[in-house]
Chains A and B, each alone.
Chain A
Amino acid sequence: MGSQGGFGQSKEFLDLVKSIGEARSKSEEDRIILGEIETLKRRIVEPDIPKRKMKEYIIRLVYVEMLGHDASFGYIHAVKMTHDDSLLLKRTGYLAVTLFLNEDHDLIILIVNTIQKDLRSDNYLVVCAALNAVCRLINEETIPAVLPQVVELLGHAKEAVRKKAVMALHRFYQKSPASVLHLISNFRKTLCDKDPGVMGATLCPLFDLVTIDVKSFKDLVISFISILKQVAERRLPKSYDYHQMPAPFIQIKLLKVLALLGSGDKQASEQMYTVLGDVFKKCDTSCNIGNAVLYECICCVSCIYPNTKLLETAADAISKFLKSDTHNLKYMGIDALGRLIKISPDIAEQHQLAVIDCLEDPDDTLKRKTFELLYKMTKSTNVNVIVDRMIDYMISINDNHYKTEIASRCVELAEQFAPSNHWFIQTMNKVFEHAGDLVNIKVAHNLMRLIAEGFGEDDDTTDSQLRSSAVESYLRIIAEPKLPSVFLQMICWVLGEYGTTDGKYSASYITGKLCDVAEAYSNDETVKAYAITALMKLYAYEIAAGRKVDILPECQSLIEELSVSHSTDLQQRAYELQALIGLDACAVESVMPSDASCEDIEIDKSLSFLNHYVQESLEKGAQPYIPESERTGMLNISSFRNEDHHEASMHGLRFEAYELPKPMVPSKSPVTYTPSTELVPVPEPSYSREVHTSTAVPSISNSGSTELKLRLDGVQKKWGRPSYSSGSTSTSESSSQKTVNGVAQTESVSTSTSRAQATSSFDLKKPQVEISPEKQRLAASLFGGPIKTDKRPTSSKVVKSSSHATEKPPVAKAADTASEKSTPVQPPPDLLDLGEPTVTSSAPLIDPFKQLEGLLDQGENVSAPNHGAVNANKASDVMSLYVEIAASGQSGGAVNPVPTNGDDMLSGLSGMGIRTASPGGPAGSSPLSKGPNLRDALEKDALVRQMGVTPTSQNPNLFKDLLG
């Protein structure tokens, strides 16, 4: 207990800690802290506060901030404390400052000077404290102020200083690589430092450097290898051992660096093989740390140029991980499998059951890791099973962060590996339905494009089948409540384009549905815009086809509602629709051609079709166009005039006509906005099909001159529907994506020669999964087939999967029984339970000290007998016996520090307790040192009690040993 120094803390501080410790709720804690803030505000400004007292105040401030309250009123006092001569006070000051301030805080400048002074100190501990502060507080601007001193300290006599100087330089590199680029060679020097601590620290900056620039450090491969070899051969001081492993944390760091250096470099990798094999062998797989090193070895082996023997060793290690009972090791196994699978894809097959176990485990972490693995091993043969699973999982979780991630993965996999268009649409529907608001809007646009363009096949019937099935599925889904906006937009678009194409549904049926949508989502203007545009398209097709258009009453009321909408966009669309209905079939056909969404639109960027008009206007005395670069403020006036002039002509607002390139009515086109400069930067190429079809109308019916009203800054952003700008893809982009789509298609076509067949096989498979030997089926569909189906055409897919299912069971069972057999033999290498004496079954693990505690409790605090009772329950009979003995020896003087006889007895007992506990205890700590410590602890406990902190029912845990 020498380290305790009798606490030396004031009653006030102890009371504060005590009350925080006993607080039962956050609000109670907050109340205490708010009171504390008031106290500190008063006290800390008092004159002549003794230094010790000040240190306590500073720590109380740390408490205030740690518990979530603002302590900025005291920052300056922490800064002042860094000036103190006493090392303890100085370091406390630095600590508080690093906890309180970020590197850009105004007060930092007051500390730089102190840091500079301390870096020059004769006391190496002061230098170390300053270097700690350097790592936390120095920002890009202040680096030059301390850099020369830090570099000098790299050669300091004390290894602790050298180590921290290395880290300070590392920090500078993180903050501003340019500032220390000329000093990189220093890291090479410190890597060879005779002190392992300095060497180990140097690995941190070197890892960062190698990550960025592998080539420049290839010469260090030999050094890293030889260091790793020495570490593995236990040449480092014993104090670096951890649970019998030699310097495992340094080994792990070295393996990480080697992985980077050996990646894609055969020569470098070959140098590593021997030492990697050695490290593999020397890992103690019965403890966590051994497995941690082992895992890092696997990562390294799967990263460097492959070596068959090492890969086999890695595969063996992985299978041990996967067969383990502890979730942590399974998790590491799944992760390692995901890494190794890139090099040897067939390795997953032998672990299929383990993988499926993990997939179905209730533990979310494990499940997610397994999904990550599945994501990595997805092929066109198993994509439907994997994506189905992912979607099911996606539906089941609430965490939006992960939902977004998994949704985008589903989309990615579906786009890449879709066995059929039909499946793709169905899958996307599910994704949109359940995570529509989380997926990128681009995904929706891609899907619309796919439906419009098909997969680029020549066969038109499959495309129209695709559209029909999309329409059908959307009509089914549309009635569901609360669909995401993006999904509804897409549905409206598809229904508008293709709702009546196959003649299965009447226009009035579809329009009715669209009106329902517009009504149900009346707050969503984007959806309403899409819906009314879809209505327009449907009516246009009807008119063009020569059929009489019956506008449903609900449509009529929708149009009326929207024509007085606050949204000018909706208003415009409503007016456009009204105007369109009044036109004859021929005009409508040319305005709104059926299924023309894929047609390329030529854009005349120079607007040459307006030349005539411009000429005319100039002759009438209009101002000539001045290029933006030559313009000054004077232009505003003239444009205002123009604006006024044209305003009268229309009441409906139009702002996208400018984007419209179709040279249909050149004579009528609004040239007048030539001087209206702000409209020029309209992103011409970026409009979607949606825009093009809808704007075709106004170019005829409206003069379009009202455009000028929109000559306002930021018009496009403010008024344009977000879907216009963000959703619209530039023409060039769309063509390039088309080819991407085409590529993806050729891939999937080869796997599914007949779409219908593929889907039927999928449909068949799914119910099968539900049947009894469910896992094996799943295994077969996940892992089975990939190799074989590659060789054979997919026509026999159904047969294949079922044959696999019959093939697998024996193997699977063998693996299963093997793992079952092995489990009882293997002692569970779980060190985690260490800290939980209540969980471990062995009774002696319970610290006798705690028994005493409970006893004291009973003696002096009758009101809280619970604690003792609980402890007694936990203990075995033997323990309760101890308690009785102790009780008899102690009943009188409970308030005093523990009587000596009780103490002796206890230390005797504790010796026993410890000795029995040690097999399960932390292997590193020697039992001998624990014995006396227990006595210390007892004294400590007594002291605390004197201070007034006693274990009550409110705070029993405060006294519990962390290491049981």
Chain B
Amino acid sequence: MGIRFILMVNKQGQTRLAQYYEYLTLEERRALEGEIVRKCLARTEQQCSFVEHRNYKIVYRRYASLFFLVGVDNDENELAILEFIHLLVETMDRHFGNVCELDIMFHLEKAHFMLEEMVMNGCIVETSKSNILTPIQLMEKSS
């Protein structure tokens, strides 16, 4: 199924966005997020942007103080996922303008809407920024 979850977590380990493509209970999520963040924080800039964790592979990327973590299956192309993260950030940047952690916090639902356009059923379905943002902009106009 490809992508199992997408997380945004800051340097202090606080979750800023969490989207799971398979059902986990609250406790499982909490534990998983804690373990993963600890693992990723312990790594240096020079090391791979990929970490194995249980049966997931975590592809992560850091922007300022915010970590973007994507949990994928074993046969996923890690570099492509890494660039997918960047595409996501670029898309948010285009929408919010110089996107920062606070934008995501204040507009959590919009960040989610973007993800909804980009990923369905754990698969990347849309990578054109205009296609991703058009429905969101139209929606804003209508309300």
- The residues of A with any CB-CB pair to B shorter than 8 Å are 1, 3-5, 7, 9, 14, 17, 20-21, 23-26, 29, 59, 62-63, 65-70, 86-89, 91-92, 95, 99, 102-103, 125, 128, 132, 135, 160, 163-164, 167, 170-171, 174, 196-197, 200-201, 204, 237, 239-240, 242-243, 247-250, 252-253, 288-289, 291-293, 295-296, 299, 327-332, 362-366, 368, 401-402, 831-837, 839, 847, 849, 922, 924-925, 929-930, 933-934, 936-937, 940, 944, 949, 957-964
**A328–B78 contact, CB under 8 A?**
yes
Closest-by-CB residue of B relative to A131 is B120
Q: List 8 A-B contacts (CB under 8 A).
A: A14-B106, A17-B106, A160-B134, A239-B130, A835-B61, A925-B93, A940-B103, A960-B100
Complex Cα distance, B108 from A397, in Å, reads 38
The 4 closest A-B pairs by CB, nearest first: A957-B65, A933-B97, A835-B63, A292-B79
Which residues of A sit under 8 angstroms from B123, Cβ to Cβ? Answer: 167, 170, 201, 204
Selected contact of A933 from candidates B15, B98, B143, CB within 8 Å:
B98
**A835–B64 contact, CB under 8 A?**
yes
**B121–A170 contact, CB under 8 A?**
yes
Selected contact of A17 from candidates B48, B87, B94, B105, CB within 8 Å:
B105
Which residues of A sit under 8 angstroms from B82, Cβ to Cβ? Answer: 288, 292, 328, 832
**B49–A328 contact, CB under 8 A?**
yes
Selected contact of B96 from candidates A3, A70, A944, CB within 8 Å:
A3
Which residues of B sit under 8 angstroms from A847, Cβ to Cβ? Answer: 98
Interface residues on B, range: 35 or more
Question: Contacts A170-B121, A289-B79 hold; do A962 and B89 have CB atoms under 8 A apart?
Answer: yes
**A365–B50 contact, CB under 8 A?**
yes
Beta-carbon contacts of B25-54 to A below 8 Å, as 1s and 0s?
Answer: 010011001000000000101111111101
**B135–A160 contact, CB under 8 A?**
yes
**B131–A160 contact, CB under 8 A?**
yes
**A960–B101 contact, CB under 8 A?**
yes
Closest-by-CB residue of A relative to B58 is A365
- The residues of B with any CB-CB pair to A shorter than 8 Å are 1, 10-15, 17-19, 23, 26, 29-30, 33, 43, 45-52, 54, 61-66, 77-80, 82-84, 86-87, 89-90, 92-103, 105-106, 108-109, 112-113, 116, 120-121, 123-131, 134-135, 137-140, 142-143
Closest-by-CB residue of A relative to B102 is A958
**B46–A242 contact, CB under 8 A?**
no
Closest-by-CB residue of B relative to A929 is B94
Complex Cα distance, B99 from A849, in Å, reads 13
Tell me what chain A mostly uses at the interface: helix, strand, loop, or mixed.
helix
**A925–B83 contact, CB under 8 A?**
no
| Residue of B1, B17, B131, B137 with most partner-chain A CB within 10 A | B131
19 more CB-based (< 8 A) A-B contacts, given A296-B80, A835-B63: A20-B14, A66-B17, A67-B15, A95-B116, A163-B125, A171-B121, A200-B127, A249-B124, A292-B79, A331-B78, A332-B78, A332-B79, A835-B89, A930-B98, A957-B64, A957-B65, A959-B100, A961-B64, A963-B63
Complex Cα distance, B65 from A237, in Å, reads 34
Selected contact of A957 from candidates B17, B101, B131, CB within 8 Å:
B101
**A958–B129 contact, CB under 8 A?**
no
Selected contact of B26 from candidates A68, A89, A103, A930, CB within 8 Å:
A68
Which residues of A sit under 8 angstroms from B15, Cβ to Cβ? Answer: 66-68
| Residue of B12, B33, B61, B77 with most partner-chain A CB within 10 A | B77
Instruction: Looking at the assembled complex, report how far the CB atom of B111 sits from the nearest CB atom of chain A, in whole angstroms.
Output: 10
**B80–A936 contact, CB under 8 A?**
no
Which residues of A sit under 8 angstroms from B33, Cβ to Cβ? Answer: 68
Which residues of A sit under 8 angstroms from B116, Cβ to Cβ? Answer: 95, 132
**A833–B99 contact, CB under 8 A?**
no
Which residues of B sit under 8 angstroms from A961, Cβ to Cβ? Answer: 64, 98-100
Instruction: Looking at the assembled complex, report how far the CB atom of B1 sits from the nearest CB atom of chain A, in whole angstroms.
Output: 7
Closest-by-CB residue of A relative to B18 is A66
**B138–A125 contact, CB under 8 A?**
yes
Which residues of A sit under 8 angstroms from B92, Cβ to Cβ? Answer: 962
Complex Cα distance, B126 from A237, in Å, reads 13
**A248–B78 contact, CB under 8 A?**
no
| Residue of B11, B66, B100 with most partner-chain A CB within 10 A | B100
Which residues of A sit under 8 angstroms from B78, Cβ to Cβ? Answer: 328, 331-332
Question: Contacts A327-B47, A832-B49 hold; do A936 and B97 have CB atoms under 8 A apart?
Answer: yes
Instruction: Looking at the assembled complex, report how far the CB atom of A752 sits from the nearest CB atom of chain B, in whole angstroms.
Output: 35
Instruction: Looking at the assembled complex, report how far the CB atom of B75 sits from the nearest CB atom of chain A, in whole angstroms.
Output: 9
Complex Cα distance, B1 from A832, in Å, reads 26
Which residues of B sit under 8 angstroms from A160, Cβ to Cβ? Answer: 131, 134-135
**A963–B121 contact, CB under 8 A?**
no
Closest-by-CB residue of A relative to B112 is A95
**A249–B127 contact, CB under 8 A?**
yes
**B50–A70 contact, CB under 8 A?**
no
Closest-by-CB residue of B relative to A924 is B90
Instruction: Looking at the assembled complex, report how far the CB atom of A121 sits from the nearest CB atom of chain B, in whole angstroms.
Output: 13
Closest-by-CB residue of B relative to A3 is B95
Instruction: Looking at the assembled complex, report how far the CB atom of B122 sits from the nearest CB atom of chain A, in whole angstroms.
Output: 9
Instruction: Looking at the assembled complex, report how far the CB atom of A16 sits from the nearest CB atom of chain B, in whole angstroms.
Output: 10
Instruction: Looking at the assembled complex, report how far the CB atom of B9 sits from the nearest CB atom of chain A, in whole angstroms.
Output: 11
**B29–A164 contact, CB under 8 A?**
no
Which residues of B sit under 8 angstroms from A91, Cβ to Cβ? Answer: 109, 113, 139
Instruction: Looking at the assembled complex, report how far the CB atom of B95 sits from the nearest CB atom of chain A, in whole angstroms.
Output: 5
Closest-by-CB residue of B relative to A241 is B128
Question: Contacts A23-B14, A29-B14, A87-B142 hold; do A958 and B100 have CB atoms under 8 A apart?
Answer: yes
| Residue of A23, A196, A296, A365 with most partner-chain B CB within 10 A | A365
Selected contact of B48 from candidates A4, A66, A327, CB within 8 Å:
A327
Closest-by-CB residue of A relative to B115 is A95
**B23–A833 contact, CB under 8 A?**
no
Which residues of B sit under 8 angstroms from A17, Cβ to Cβ? Answer: 102, 105-106
Which residues of B sit under 8 angstroms from A250, Cβ to Cβ? Answer: 127
Instruction: Looking at the assembled complex, report how far the CB atom of B33 sits from the nearest CB atom of chain A, in whole angstroms.
Output: 8
Which residues of B sit under 8 angstroms from A962, Cβ to Cβ? Answer: 63-64, 66, 89, 92-93, 99-101
Complex Cα distance, B84 from A151, in Å, reads 30
Instruction: Looking at the assembled complex, report how far the CB atom of B17 sits from the nearest CB atom of chain A, in whole angstroms.
Output: 7
Which residues of B sit under 8 angstroms from A291, Cβ to Cβ? Answer: 79
Which residues of A sit under 8 angstroms from B140, Cβ to Cβ? Answer: 3, 5, 88
| Residue of B12, B49, B50 with most partner-chain A CB within 10 A | B50
**A95–B113 contact, CB under 8 A?**
yes
**B80–A960 contact, CB under 8 A?**
no
**A365–B14 contact, CB under 8 A?**
no
Complex Cα distance, B131 from A196, in Å, reads 11
**B109–A95 contact, CB under 8 A?**
yes
Instruction: Looking at the assembled complex, report how far the CB atom of B134 sits from the nearest CB atom of chain A, in whole angstroms.
Output: 8
**A958–B61 contact, CB under 8 A?**
no
Complex Cα distance, B29 from A113, in Å, reads 30
Which residues of A sit under 8 angstroms from B98, Cβ to Cβ? Answer: 847, 849, 930, 933-934, 936-937, 961, 963
Which residues of B sit under 8 angstroms from A295, Cβ to Cβ? Answer: 77, 79
**A197–B48 contact, CB under 8 A?**
no
**A88–B90 contact, CB under 8 A?**
no
Complex Cα distance, B49 from A102, in Å, reads 31
Closest-by-CB residue of B relative to A951 is B102
**B125–A204 contact, CB under 8 A?**
yes
Instruction: Looking at the assembled complex, report how far the CB atom of A939 sits from the nearest CB atom of chain B, in whole angstroms.
Output: 10
Closest-by-CB residue of A relative to B14 is A29
Question: Contacts A365-B50, A958-B105 hold; do A102 and B23 have CB atoms under 8 A apart?
Answer: yes
Which residues of B sit under 8 angstroms from A240, Cβ to Cβ? Answer: 127-128
Which residues of B sit under 8 angstroms from A835, Cβ to Cβ? Answer: 61-64, 89
Which residues of A sit under 8 angstroms from B64, Cβ to Cβ? Answer: 835-837, 957, 960-962, 964
Closest-by-CB residue of A relative to B93 is A963
Which residues of B sit under 8 angstroms from A239, Cβ to Cβ? Answer: 128-131
Which residues of A sit under 8 angstroms from B131, Cβ to Cβ? Answer: 160, 197, 239
Instruction: Looking at the assembled complex, report how far the CB atom of B91 sits from the nearest CB atom of chain A, in whole angstroms.
Output: 10
**B50–A242 contact, CB under 8 A?**
no
Complex Cα distance, B101 from A924, in Å, reads 21
**B97–A940 contact, CB under 8 A?**
yes
